Amino acid sequence: MNFQYWNPQIEKMPRPELEALQLEKLKAEIGHALRTPFYKSRLGSVGIKSPDEIKTLDDLKKIPFTTKHDLREGFPYGFLSIPKEEVVRLHASSGTTGIPTTIYFNQDDIKRWTGYVARCIFGTGCDKHDVFQNMITYGLFTGGLGFHQGGEEIGMLVIPSGAGNTARQFKLMQDFGTTVLHATPSFLLHVESKMREAGIKRESLALKRAFAGAEPYSEDTRRRIENLLHIDVYNSYGLSEMNGPGVAFECQCKNGLHIWEDGYIAEIINPDTLEPVKDGETGELVLTVLCREATPILRYRTRDLTAFYTEPCACGRTHRRLRRITGRSDDMLIINGVNVFPSQIEEVIMGIKEVGNNYLIVVEKEGVLDRLTVKTEVGADIFMDDARPLNALKERIRETLQASISISPRVELHESGSLPVSEGKAVRVKDTRPKDV
Ligand code: ADP
Ligand code: ZN
């Protein structure tokens, strides 16, 4: 394969050099951190009063973790390291799990962030001949502007279409010959269903690839999108606390996401003991930003679950790879005492070819027991008025799920296109059980 590198010197940098670069940048970042009210006190409490106290990368472990709770406590300016007049932009998280957190950028921060996203996009084979339709939410959410800037940086024609409105999306694809898409995986599946409904032939479009991220999805979902739309789909991972997109991305080997270690330090810990896991074991990703001056964030507990791949990648990049993120540690549902991750359910149902492009997991209280219902759409070519094959399909889904999650769910089949679709991140779980206070 002919691999394309945006910055070969950095992307293929030998590990010892890369680690020396990390140490240098970490010290600079600690310098920025010591200018924020939050870290001045937090680092002070462990005796770090100057960047010179960091002598090796291992010294990072002396720094306490930063949590989403800390970021909220520090709202609005507790994490700001520069005078307000130097700030040129703010972004916020989507607030999937509560109050959103805010991140500030100066001009150089924006340029550096843009460079990381450009590196990701270019590494998938895109160049200035591509037409890039950015079908994701713009605004405070980092996905829109983040990809927009990265796309322009490599010279693609960027269509800032934003999320939603499939009819308009199709029109843009047709009018301008879109070759590359960016969206959540759930929206890409929705686009495919709507395309079929509208009778738009895939061959009439110039699509080649898509970037899909912002929410967890399984390998089966990736394959489904690739097969339905005849495109290559690349997994994109980022979070607003670490700038947004551009943190980790798949290369053309599509086997794990390279985390850009010249911009971020990644650790994976056991969320209960807070100790590092062994290489290859799953745990919670902890990230330190090395490329932002205005809002330094050190050892941030992302709650995202992943593992490091141990073997080097065939593309020649030296930056380590993360396994596809399966969800957040706090996504776990406890159903009648059994632990279930929504990603386990997705993995099963998206592997069944008669199942359509959308699903919803419902958890309710029924008397003293919890009741799990999995609602899935059926493929557009399945007739809803023929009960026998539908019942057989339902039973097959139920049995396969039970084998995987050890719970027997109720399964409901719905017509293609009838389950709710959200414009931003998909809402896959509806848990109506009363919360313990
Ligand atoms: P919020 O935490 O409010 O959703 P963000 O908009 O910053 O805020 O979203 C970042 C989060 O989205 C990540 O921490 C992760 O949980 C999820 N995410 C982003 N990209 C991916 C991906 N490729 N796979 C799985 N989850 C992802
Ligand atoms: Zn690679």
322 C-alpha to ligand 2 centroid (Å): 11
pLDDT the model gives residue 95: 77
Does ligand 1 come within 6 angstroms of the Cβ of 283?
A: no
Residue 347 CB coordination number (10 Å): 18
What is the chain's mean pLDDT, rounded? 95
Cα torsion angle, 363, 327, 298, 97, sign: negative
pLDDT the model gives residue 436: 66
Average pLDDT over residues 187-206: 95
pLDDT over 60 at 437, yes or no: no
203 C-alpha to ligand 1 centroid (Å): 32
* Residue 100: closest CA among 145, 146, 141, 42: 141
Cβ-contact 356, 379 below 8 angstroms: yes
* Residue 2: closest CA among 127, 116, 115: 127
pLDDT the model gives residue 40: 97
Residues 6+ apart with CB under 8 A from 296: 29, 30, 32, 33, 36, 39, 79, 81, 289
DSSP tag of 112: H
Does ligand 1 come within 6 angstroms of the Cβ of 96?
A: yes
Which tens digits make up the pLDDT trace of 12-59?
999 999 999 999 999 999 999 999 999 999 999 999 999 999 999 999
Token pair of 248 as six digits = 């980790």
Residue 303 CB coordination number (10 Å): 18
Q: Which ligand is nearest to the CA of 219?
A: 1
Q: Which residue has the tokens 């520090």?
A: 74
Which tens digits make up the pLDDT trace of 90-142?
999 877 777 778 999 999 999 999 999 999 999 999 999 999 999 999 999 99
Helical (H) or strand (E) element with 158? strand 157-159
Does ligand 1 come within 6 angstroms of the Cβ of 235?
A: yes
Residues 6+ apart with CB under 8 A from 278: none
What are the backbone angles phi and psi of residue 247, rounded to the nearest 5°? Answer: -85, -50
Does ligand 1 come within 6 angstroms of the Cβ of 101?
A: no
* Residue 262: closest CA among 5, 11, 6, 56: 11
- Residue burial 79-93, b: 16+ Cβ < 10 Å; e: rest: bbbbeeebbeeebeb
